[in-house]
Amino acid sequence: MLTYIVRRLLLLIPTLLGVTAVVFFIMALSPGAYEGLNLNMEGAQSEGEEARRIRQHFIRRYGLDLPVMVQYGRWLNQISPIGFRMSSQVQFSDSQKSQASTILDSSTVLTEDPAIRRALDATLSIAAYLEEEPDRTARRLADVVEEPERGFDLLAQMDSDVDETFRQEFLKAREADLHEASSHMLDQLSFEAATKNRILFTSPTVKWPDLGTSLRGRPVTELLLEAVPVTLLLNAISIPIIYVVAILAGIFAARYRGRWFDISSGIVFLGLWSIPVMWVGVMLIGFLANEEFIRWFPTAGLHDLKAQQMPFLPRAPESGFERGWLLDTVWHLILPVICLTYGGFAVMAKLTRASLLENMAADYVRTARAKGVSDHDVLFRHVLHNSLLPLITVLVGILPAMFAGTVIIETIFSISGMGKLGVEAAFMKDRELVMGTTLIGGSIGLCAELVRDVWYAMADPRVSYE
Amino acid sequence: MENRFGLKDLIMTSLFIVLIVSVWLNMKQRDRQRDELQDMKQSLGEQATELTRIRKMLESGARVAQAPGLEIPNASELDPTDPFTRIRHSHQAEDYAVGGWLINVFGQTVGKITPIVDTDAYQSKIEGHVVESLAVRDPDSLQFQPWIAKSWEISDDGKTFTFDLRTDVSFSDGEVLTARDVVYTFELTMNPEIAAPSRQSYYATIHRVFQVGDHRVVFEMKEPYFKGFEMCAGLGILPEHFYSRFTPDQFNKEPGLLFGSGPYRIQEPEQWKPGTGVIELLRNENYWGPRPTFDRIVYREITDETARLVTFTNGDLDVFAPSPEQYQKLKDDERVDHLATWYEYETITGGYRYVGWNQMRQGKVTRFADRRVRQALTMLTNRKEMCQRLMVGLATVTSGPFHRLGNQANPSIEPWPYDAARARALLKESGFEDRDGDGVIEDPDLQPFLVKLIYPASSTNYQQMALYLKDAFARAGVVLEPDPLEWNVMLQRINQRDFDAITLGWSGVIESDPYQIFHSSQIEDGGHNYISYTNTELDELIERARYTPSETARMKMWHRCHQILHEDQPYTFLFTRRAVTLANKRLKNVHLVKLGINSDMEWYVPLTLQKWSSN
């Protein structure tokens, strides 16, 4: 058994690689540009200057100018616990920094304080990028400010193509004013240094896996940590409800096969299953949260506006009943949970019923009955136990779904969960966010399958992996 | 098998009970801690309020000592350089009361409120309450009025702006705002390690910013660009003592670092997290101006249209902007009339919709390069009917890119009329007629006149517009094929100039710069002139106008630009939008100004109607 588990765990790695590679290449090769962010409130284009600069920024941040294969390698390096450092992760010691800053200070052109600070920042980024000692780069940068044309060499060394118009403008400015030209060149260098982020192939290290940065500049890990608990909460409530209701209904439907309960539960569950959730959600809000009809429930969100000031538990002081934070949350969860559950009963109930009926027709049931075992005992001791296998299959299929949200329900009830996060990321072509959700969703799905197989062996003595 | 309750079961059950009890006790304990914390917070809040009151008393006392017998002046007599004239005026109403919450709504989740990096319309609404700039435009006269700066000088060449700052402005933690903070804000924005490419290119024409003493800042421009003053005056001032604590990397990544001198503040900027469904702004008790009216300004995030509407009709939202479909339905709803007041208005910043005709597709000149064709297509479009039917009356036909309420628009220009006969004649003149009798017009080489119109697939409104155009053009034998595209794909097609026609909208500003959109230099290299429109006279005019500091001279040039664009019709300019806002009747002093609805700083809720409070 143990060897089996280990073997399966090792197999996880190539499978995950495959999953992420497929998603990555579909993302990278699909058409579309990267400025989708600059939409204003009405969905119109904003009067954006220099879309080029924005594009350049994203190209640098994600290495979009590299071949797609290399881009994927870069991402793998980022998420792997053992790998190469990126140039932005290089830290210099304080003494190295102060050494560089003294060299820059001695320059005659950098007279203003912000210019020196900017030059120092640029020095450190360039040094990290070129893997030089900061003092050496500082000396080169000091040369650049005295004689800005030298900056072109430095730019070339950083693999940046210099825009021809920039070169022309720059050379003109150089004649006019040394100060102007050096600040120009410094700008360009710091921009290059700050946005370029490449792998330093020299020193593989053990590091924390990094899921990267979303398009809007927030770490993917943080975004996931915000969305996952919300989705888990919703699913942790609704999936057990689905299971308890559906399995019980399935058992009774099988026991009273063909009687009114069997038929009516079948019709009701199938009916519920066929109602689109979008419609139900809007109707629930329109009728059960509306002053005009019945206002029992809130219209949006997971907490009341005043939830922050509520006590945690409900209580009833003299002034009247206070529902408290816990009850408030439950109250807000009712409508979304209804939407999440009603459609799920049909499949599970039918599955339970079919599996039980199959077993009830088996020989051992007849034998047990002939021995005089009561109906109740036959059903709950023998049949139910043997009917669990298909239920396990479905349950494990649902585990990854615990992690995935549903974008429709989240949008209708204004909840920020995984569904909205994932769909918006895909629309925005937010690559690292999509890859982050894929990686985590994929690993949970694969682990769930492993758990299922182990569980089979435990539930059914006929299954063995030896 | 014996079914007896054995020792093992007893132990397990008691362990389980102990577990449940301890969880319960733990919850109780947390609840008590929470209560205590609340009490402490409340008493702290009370102390702060008390302090503010005492400070105000001391201040007014000091004033009385200086000038005994001073009376509170009427609104009309107030100092015109006082930035708070309008607000003070609203405070004189009989039923005016401080307190209550103002509850707004966003239709989207706001991911980030940190200024400078990746700003969008939602973010700037929040920022507008927390961060202040040197000067702001008066919403009626559209002229700049002093705010943090008490006065300014503009050099004769229009390249240097010198601002004198007020000395009494402080940030919400009580630190005084000085010229150093202004310089710092500019440096922070331009720091290449800050991920703010769009802001950085916006401010690229500012050469440098430096301070002279503690309360004077000088902005030097590279060129006398007409928007230079607006740029400098509109820079939202950030406190150095707060922001210098963060590294550029932290600044790029933290979602809630919003801190400034404005009337409202974020409770704990470093702890702020998006996605909670509400964004709460608390009153800045240290505010340097008159005491802000509301205890809190709350933005709820309700992503579903119906849910938004129901929340509003339940009375849980104070301001609500219905969609055109909802507007049609709600217009005659008595319940809504009873609950709220309608505001319908046009504003210069509302922007306009257009159909752009691509004149150069992948290196080849298209049939839209002929001006007569473009004019004909405009005349085939019944824009009045479009405004009435598609936009349910919430739009007005526009003749050019400048909004008719602004000073840039040439008032003598009438939009092209709807005239299908003249359009057909023009098309014939430029060589398009039905040569094979199939109802479709062809050019001399027998190529049918076929247009593919691209538009964002997510919007039903654009979809309806495309179908409407298809119908209108078919009557003149022009085949229009709607081609909806996903937004990112559309951007790519725009960048590659790979389309026949496009319909989209531009958002508006008070004085817009047509350079980005219509100057021929913006054709290359991903510029916004993606229809490859060239007119040398217009190019020259725009170049001159941009560097003309005198407003009257510049407006004359813009008027001429408008004339040229009207005649050339590089776009078929469709319409400008009318905005609709519903405001709950409990809000008082909401009224229309030239820029739309007046600032929420001037609104209030009378004491009897206040239903939310902080305790």
Average pLDDT for A107-134: 78
* Structure token digits, residue B349: 């910043």
Flag whether residue A385 sits within 8 Å of chain B, measured between CB atoms: no
Query: Mind listing the pLDDT tens digit for each residue in A31-83?
Result: 776 654 444 333 334 344 456 667 777 777 787 878 888 889 989 988 888 88
Alpha-helix runs per DSSP H in A372-461? 375-377, 384-386, 388-403, 407-412, 418-428, 431-459
Q: What count of CB pairs under 8 Å joins A to B?
A: 225
**pLDDT for A248-292, tens place per residue?**
999 999 989 899 999 999 999 999 999 999 999 999 999 999 888
* Residue of chain B minimizing CA distance to A288: B310
> How many Å separate Cα A3 from the centre of its chain?
32
A221 touches chain B (CB under 8 A): no
Taking the alpha carbons at both ends of chain A, their separation in whole angstroms is: 6
pLDDT of A13-22, one tens digit each?
999 999 999 9
Query: CA-based angle A313:A317:A318, to the nearest 5?
Result: 165
- Per-residue pLDDT for B220 more than 50? yes
Residue B343 host element (H or E)? strand B340-345
Asked if residues B216 and B162 have their Cβ atoms less than 8 Å apart, the reply is yes
Instruction: Please name the residue that has the structure tokens 């963060």.
Output: B246
Q: What is the mean pLDDT of chain B?
A: 87
As to burial, measured by CB atoms within 10 angstroms (0-12 exposed, 13-18 middle, 19+ buried), residue B349 is: middle
Q: Which residue has the higher pLDDT, A459 or B453?
A: B453
Choose from B28, B221, B276 for mutation: most chain A CBs within 10 A: B276
Record: contact B302-A54, CB cut-off 8 A: no
Where is average pLDDT lowest: A56-60, A98-102, B163-167, B209-213? A56-60
List pLDDT tens digits, range A384-397: 877 877 777 777 77
> In 3-state terms, what secondary structure has residue A322?
strand
Phi/psi at A85 (5° precision): -80, 155
Residue numbers in A near B223 (CB within 8 A): none
Which residues have a Cβ under 8 Å from the Cβ of B572 and sit 6 or more positions away? B354, B355, B357, B374, B377, B378, B381
Q: Which amino acid is at A353?
A: R
Q: For residue B356, how far is the Cα from the chain centroid? A: 24
Query: Is the pLDDT reported for residue B190 higher than 60?
Result: yes
Residues from chain B that touch A324, judged by Cβ atoms under 8 A, are 31
Q: What is the average pLDDT across B435-439?
A: 85
d(CA B71, CA A121): 56
Apex CA A93: angle with CA A90 and CA A96, to 5°?
105
- Residue of higher predicted confidence among A260 and A122: A260
Report for A85-89, B329-333, B444-448, B452-456: range of highest mean pLDDT: B452-456
Q: What are phi and psi of A247, to 5 degrees?
A: -70, -40
Which among B232, B97, B80 has a CA at the least distance from the CA of B155?
Answer: B232
Residues of chain A numbered 83-112 and touching chain B (CB < 8 Å): 112
Please say whether the beta carbons of A18 and A11 come within 8 A: no
Asked if B122 contacts A41 with a C-beta cutoff of 8 angstroms, the reply is yes
Min Cα separation B87/chain A (Å): 27
Helix axes A418-428, A431-459, angle to 10 degrees: 140
B534 contacts B520 by C-beta, under 8 angstroms: yes
Of A33, A414, A415, nearest to B491 by CB-CB distance is A33
3-state secondary structure of B503: strand
Instruction: Return d(Cα B242, Cα B112) in angstroms, integer.
Output: 18
Say what percent of chain A tops pLDDT 90: 20
Residue B185: pLDDT band with limits 50, 70, 90: very high
Confidence of residue A144 (pLDDT cuts 50, 70, 90): confident
Q: Name the DSSP letter for residue B581.
A: E
Question: What is this structure's pTM?
Answer: 0.84
Helix/strand/coil for A295: strand
What band does B237 get if pLDDT is binned at 50, 70 and 90? Answer: very high
Which pLDDT value is given to residue B25? 87
Lowest mean pLDDT among A357-361, A379-383, B146-150: A379-383
Question: In this prediction, what percent of chain B has a pLDDT beyond 90?
Answer: 50
Task: For residues A115-143, give the mean pLDDT.
Answer: 83
* Chain centroid offset of residue A48 CA: 29
Q: Give start and end residues of each alpha helix (H) in B281-440.
A: 305-313, 324-330, 334-339, 371-380, 383-385, 420-429
Whole-angstrom distance, CA of residue B307 vs CA of residue B381: 36
Q: B282 or A401: whose pLDDT is higher? A: B282
- B77 pLDDT band (50/70/90 cuts)? very low
Name the token pair of B226.
């007409």
- How far apart CA A282 and CA B605 sit, in angstroms, is 32
Q: What pLDDT shows up at residue B325? A: 83
Mean pLDDT, chain A, as a whole number? 83
Write out chain A residues lying below 8 Å of B335, CB-based.
Answer: 292
The torsion angles phi and psi of A140, rounded to 5 degrees, stand at: -65, -40
What is the DSSP track for B191-233?
Answer: -TTSS-HHHHHHGGGEEEEEESSSSEEEEEESS--TTHHHHHH
Q: Report the pLDDT value the prediction gives residue B60, as an integer from 0 to 100.
A: 60
Contact across the interface for A305 and B252, Cβ inside 8 Å: no
